[in-house]
Chains A and B, each alone.
Chain A
């Protein structure tokens, strides 16, 4: 499959063009091309070490690529080079991520976790003299409802179950009004029922948000999959819908086949 570089004026929101990244000689990302359409839910799968997490680190400017361009096509028509932007600015643009391990502020209440994630003044003085506005409070309540943690709003986040922490972290993204959500293994450590609800939540966000979901669990991928990209050794091995990908012999060899052999 050939992918043509695209420019603004298209329906894209994110373009990753020919990106390379090596760590001490190990090529984690090798000539990666990836395009995200606005409002799309795009699933990324791949065996361990395929470069999935590095891929997210690159988009969120946690690591810088050795080569290539990562461009965010902003809502006002401006293209922003994310490889030259600092992490917290990337986040303020509305590109946010959920980490692989649920990462929440354990000693803060669920409510405060969301409060700190709000898309409002994040400078030192802004927070020193911040007062919760009514609209901020309402927004937090809406998100609490969406992630089904209304009853636990005053509990410490550290006291939540693993699955609930995953939900809280998704909520921490939602409360930011994100443009692009990068979701790393949202279903890890969840019960079957929680997994299914997570899938429903992500699917419901499609359209209003653009999502990249990294996942291992194939049942979960089947539930949410629209367009699927398979990464292998830092390179796109295959892109297509779930059935295409699943029936591709190369994919079966490097990923599905290995998983089936394991089971």
Chain B
């Protein structure tokens, strides 16, 4: 089964894989630290974070770009995956915490005598890894089932997802919810027996994030080429037509929603050990809106756009928050407005847009009537 559309795409994919999987980790491992070519562990973690953001953006694009569902709780799925993996990391701290207790520090602080039952299985790495997928997946399934069955769509769906993330965020802020309240989880020590702050661990986490991104990219590319993917895009264009062609659009949307949540959860699980902290701040409504901006900026409904958008905005954020800490949000808002107004296809669509403008400029004297697009939604 062919996954890539063009040879160019395949070449680009392989080149990116070579750079991200061989060159950058190699520069970190084998080039001495004094050298200008050396990539530090800090840099690796930073780029690893961008990569997980890119995966998060791809998961939203699967919903928003290809199915027409603007989901405003994508960061909640990301954080749920992060929390699930963070539970494992918290338990791996063991008695090295500030209170020298086998319980996580926040539990000692809050007066817990023993570990809550639902925490116990998270001693097992594989259980935690599974939870990274099924916890967000289950949340998406329950919410999606109720929302799609009631035919909630368009802006109402968006508003409801935003309300959902807000509610869950408030829940996680509570101390008695057993997930560390507003401090969340931090101060991790080890992962699978390896020191989490060691450069070699950071390297592996970076490689893992890149592999996740590559796998997600290939999975989405494959899916878009199947008839399933075509139905998915048809739902975006005209859901009624799809339904009256004999498809249960509810089933399709539900599956896509669950898949998208699981991808976001996996990204969150790679995010947490690289950033070293997870707290309810990750699931505020604003965080999910950030993801929307990345996707819009990079190019909604394109395979590569979300990656570009996520990395570009976060690179810019890293610099802007250092240079102009007070005006970062204004800069971000301006970018979003400009993109929506002038770049409907985002950064990825820019070359084609410029070509179109050049063509129009050249042809201007003999310009004919442009075809008026007819709305197809009933």
Contact = CB atoms under 8 A, between A and B. Distances in A.
Interface of A: 60, 62, 86-89, 91-92, 96-97, 99-108, 112, 115-117, 119, 122-124, 127-130, 158-159, 162, 165, 172, 176
Contacts of A105: 233-234, 237-238, 241, 376
B231 interface: yes
Interface of B: 223, 226-228, 230-231, 233-234, 236-238, 240-249, 251-252, 255, 371, 373-378
B378 A162 contact: no
A176 B245 contact: yes
Closest 8 CB pairs of A and B: A91-B246, A130-B227, A127-B227, A127-B228, A92-B246, A128-B228, A105-B234, A103-B241
Given A101-B375, A101-B376, A88 B243 contact: yes
Contacts of B247: 88, 122
Contacts of B243: 87-88, 91
Contacts of B234: 105, 108, 116
Given A88-B243, A91-B245, A127 B231 contact: yes
B231 A116 contact: yes
11 contacts: A86-B248, A88-B248, A89-B246, A96-B245, A99-B240, A103-B376, A103-B378, A105-B237, A107-B236, A108-B237, A127-B231
A165 B237 CA distance: 14
Contacts of A107: 233, 236-237
A253 B228 CA distance: 51
B245 A103 contact: no
A106 B376 CA distance: 8
Contact of A124 (B230, B238, B252): B252
Nearest to A123: B251
Contacts of A117: 245
Nearest to B233: A107
Contacts of A106: 237, 376
Given A103-B376, A107-B237, A124-B251, A97 B244 contact: yes
B18 to A, nearest CB: 31
B378 A176 contact: no
A115 B230 CA distance: 9
A107 B232 CA distance: 12
Contacts of A62: 244
Contacts of A159: 371
Contact of B378 (A101, A130, A158, A165): A101
A148 B186 CA distance: 65
A53 to B, nearest CB: 10
A62 B236 CA distance: 19
B240 A127 contact: no
Q: Which of B243, B246, B373, B378 has the most CB of A within 10 A?
A: B246
> Which of A62, A101, A106, A176 neighbours the largest number of chain B CB atoms within 10 Å of its CB?
A106
A74 B241 CA distance: 23
Nearest to A121: B227
Nearest to B301: A107
Contacts of A158: 373
B230 A103 contact: no
A115 B227 CA distance: 8
Contacts of B371: 159
Nearest to A128: B228
A99 B245 CA distance: 12
A108 B245 CA distance: 15
B241 A99 contact: yes
Contacts of B249: 88
Contacts of A99: 240-241, 244, 378
Nearest to B234: A105
Contact of B376 (A91, A104, A129, A172): A104
Nearest to B223: A128
Contacts of A172: 241, 245
A95 B231 CA distance: 20
A124 B255 contact: yes
A159 B227 CA distance: 21
Nearest to B238: A103
Contact of B374 (A100, A115, A127, A165): A165
Contacts of B246: 88-89, 91-92, 96, 119, 122, 176
Contacts of B244: 60, 62, 87-88, 91, 96-97, 99
B227 A103 contact: no
Contact of A103 (B228, B240, B251, B373): B240
Contacts of B238: 103-105
A92 B223 CA distance: 24
Nearest to B251: A124
Contacts of B251: 123-124
A7 to B, nearest CB: 27
Nearest to B236: A107
Contacts of B233: 105, 107-108
Nearest to B373: A158
A144 B377 CA distance: 23
Contacts of A112: 230
A160 to B, nearest CB: 10
Contacts of B245: 91, 96, 116-117, 122, 172, 176
A162 B374 contact: yes
Contacts of A128: 223, 226-228
Given A96-B244, A102-B376, 16 more contacts: A60-B244, A88-B248, A96-B245, A99-B244, A102-B374, A103-B376, A103-B377, A104-B238, A105-B234, A106-B237, A107-B236, A116-B230, A122-B246, A122-B247, A127-B230, A165-B374
B16 to A, nearest CB: 26
A87 B239 CA distance: 12
A127 B225 CA distance: 11
